[in-house]
Amino acid sequence: MNILAKNLMILASAGSGKTYQLGNRVIGKIGLEGVSPERIVALTFTRKAAGEFADSVLTKLAEGTSDPEKAAQISKDINGEIDVSVVLGKVVKALPKLQLTTLDGFFSRMVRGFQYELGISGGTFELLQGERQKTAEAEIIEGVLRDGFANRNEFYHAFRRATLGWGQQGVQKSLEEFVNDWHRIWKMGVRPEMFGGAAIFGDLPQVGHWAKRKDSLIHALRSDGNPSAVEKLLDTIAGHSVGRSLTLNAIGKRIMEILDQPGPVEVKNGRKNLEIPVSVWKQWQALLNLAVGCELAAAVARTQAVGELIAEIDREHERQLRSRGLLSFDDVKVLLSEGMRSEEGRLRRELVDYRLDGRYDHWLLDEFQDTSPAEWRSLESLVNEAVSDPEGGVFVVGDRKQAIYAWRGGDVSLFDDLISQYEGGMAVESMAESYRSCPAVLDLVNAICGDGAALESLFGKALRQRWVWEDHVSAAPDVTGESRVSVVPKGGSGTAMVAQLKRLGVGKKRLSCGVLVRSGKQVKEVADLLRSEGFDVIEEGKRRPCSDHAIGVALCHFVRWLADPANSFSREVVAMCPLNDGLERLTEGGWFSRWEASMERIQRIGYARFLGQLINPEWVALSEYGRRLASDIIAALAEFDASGKASPRAARDWISDLEISQTP
């Protein structure tokens, strides 16, 4: 592999050393080609990954200055001799200007550095995150739904269907989640005119055609000679109305599977085959195609109504937040990709690109399978320039098989788009040798992911044709290990999992362990189960610190009591917990005196510092999980203190529904 090829894409399997190759690329460009370190941009998705990348470059160079063998290995990796100490000196000197960072961090710097060019009025930029972002978005949604959509029945119908089974949530919260999810999709690059996808389906019947025409079509299919299963199927279809689920019997499902075939056809009915002549088969096709068409037409109409809502929501985001420089991470990407949507946006972006083109020549994109279309559009013009520039270059690394973040916008098809877009101008290499896994693990991976016949039977021929597979091999073929698939009875998975973790010694030995589940609800259930068994657990996703642990409940009720001193329930909760000891030290008086003393102290030092002081004597006694929850609540209150909203009720509202996103 020529790691210094001008434009190179590496399809790297898990554990194959892609971070190692990223480091080689940087070292080789600086040492062999004389590229200035500050003209290189290396982007990944997490701060941890960015830090590991920077560490790998510095560590490799530092070790090479004192160990001739390691210096020789560096030269071998980059296919050329370099003076390692000189390269290290250049990198260290350029550290303040190095762009080895996250995508979000780089995009934020772009907006901060080019506010006027990007049309932010007043020339200010502030990143909205956490509870402050949630509060601002909730206010916008509430205003739009209150003032602009009282008569949008199609939207409410779509909302009701989309939130079916969410009865445990309040209406307002469900609305906010529904709108925020769709707005996130919009910001990935789906425009209002694309909502519903009417152009994809072509000419669809009007929704009302089903009620008008179904009876005559069904009547034509009825016959004394029909098997009972066919008559029951017709009865079911006759009772169907658009928008409701249609549960077909076995013969109905078989008919649907071959609906696009020309007649005559044979359909299995129990142990017999039912022969359907051409004339009758055309009637079945007309009936069921009408049902499908009307359902699609209804779905298109509902989704178009959602698109109209999201367009209005986004206009309010633009007016109230983005134009004033108050941006979320998603908004930053929307702003940077605006050149794809309007002439004005294109001209603004050209001003930014002109200045950045003169600053950066070499782009390294890590974990490319997790890149979203919006993120790619934000970089595309700069990458295009580097691809065509004789003095520039692009390095892309990722793995299609590890593309598990489609839910947040990751689009694995971008690999194919790049290969097609830069056809002949970008070399493509693969890395299938794993330095992380032993042969036993890789044999299991190959057996499952390399079984094309099984993939086709599960997901269809089209997906199998798109599935590019290369068997993984271990860099340590003599290392022993274990891979195992256990099938447990329904309901017994928790017990089996705990037994397996204890058998492996997780929590006793120096081992880390990941547990994958199917839903967010299961994340909490499994985490609670494992904590009850003595394991220290960090859940991926969102944690509710004010309800997930006794210390969180106590802190939340303390803030509620401050907001309403007459709230006897919250006061009694506080009285029964260790926080009361700290309150008693404030004053010798009763509860009203404690409330006055608390509010006086909060006015001077803020909620976060005050609660930190109250809980500090109990800190050592808390579990590690309890400390994390308490830290989350105090951090949220510090953000509240910084917002300038001093009202006790505002503080209560700020943390009542607090959710903390976390990553292990």
Helix H, strand E, coil C: the string for 523-564 is HHHHHHHHHHCCCCCCCCEEECCCCCCHHHHHHHHHHHHHHC
CA distances from 395 to 4, 26, 558, 622 (A): 9, 10, 53, 47
Q: Residue 101, by phi and psi: left (phi above 0), alpha (psi -120 to 50) or beta? A: beta
SS3 494: helix
Q: What is the pLDDT of residue 121?
A: 63
pLDDT tens per residue, range 424-457: 889 999 999 999 999 999 999 999 999 999 999 8
Q: What is the CA radius of gyration of the chain?
A: 30
Nearest to 650 by CA among 587, 602, 590, 601: 602
Q: What is the pLDDT of residue 209?
A: 92
Whether the model clears a pTM of 0.85, i.e. scores above it, the answer is no
In the predicted structure, residue 144 carries a pLDDT above the cut 90: no
pLDDT tens per residue, range 451-498: 999 999 888 888 888 888 889 999 999 999 888 888 887 777 788 899
**Structure tokens that stand for 567 in this block:** 């709230």
Q: What is the pLDDT of residue 168?
A: 45
pLDDT tens per residue, range 277-320: 999 999 999 999 999 999 988 888 888 878 877 888 888 887 88
pLDDT tens per residue, range 331-377: 787 777 765 566 776 777 777 888 887 788 999 999 999 888 888 88
Burial class of 327 by CB neighbour count within 10 A (0 to 12, 13 to 18, 19+)? buried
| CB-side neighbour CA atoms (13 Å) of 277 | 3
Q: Output the DSSP codes for 374-438.
A: HHHHHHHHHHHHHHH-TT-EEEEEE-GGG---GGGT--THHHHHHHHHTTTTSEEEEE-EESS--
Averaged pLDDT, 195-219: 86
Integer distance in angstroms from the first to the last C-alpha of the chain?
Answer: 34
Q: How far apart are CA 287 and CA 248, in angstroms?
A: 14
* Band of residue 147 on the pLDDT scale cut at 50, 70, 90: low
* Band of residue 149 on the pLDDT scale cut at 50, 70, 90: low
CA distances from 151 to 7, 8, 154 (A): 54, 54, 9
SS3 567: coil
pLDDT tens per residue, range 603-613: 889 888 998 88
Q: What is the pLDDT of residue 325?
A: 76
In the predicted structure, residue 664 carries a pLDDT above the cut 60: no
pLDDT tens per residue, range 86-135: 999 999 998 888 888 888 888 888 888 887 777 776 556 777 776 677 77
Q: What is the pLDDT of residue 165?
A: 47
Q: What is the pLDDT of residue 438?
A: 93
Mean pLDDT of the chain: 84
Higher-pLDDT residue of 140, 208: 208
Q: What is the pLDDT of residue 498?
A: 92
Q: How far apart are CA 176 and CA 146, in angstroms?
A: 13
Q: What angle do CA 42, 48, 50 make, to 5 degrees?
A: 10
Q: How far apart are CA 239 and CA 220, in angstroms?
A: 16
* Band of residue 166 on the pLDDT scale cut at 50, 70, 90: very low
In the predicted structure, residue 159 carries a pLDDT above the cut 70: no
User: What does the chain come to in residues?
Assistant: 664
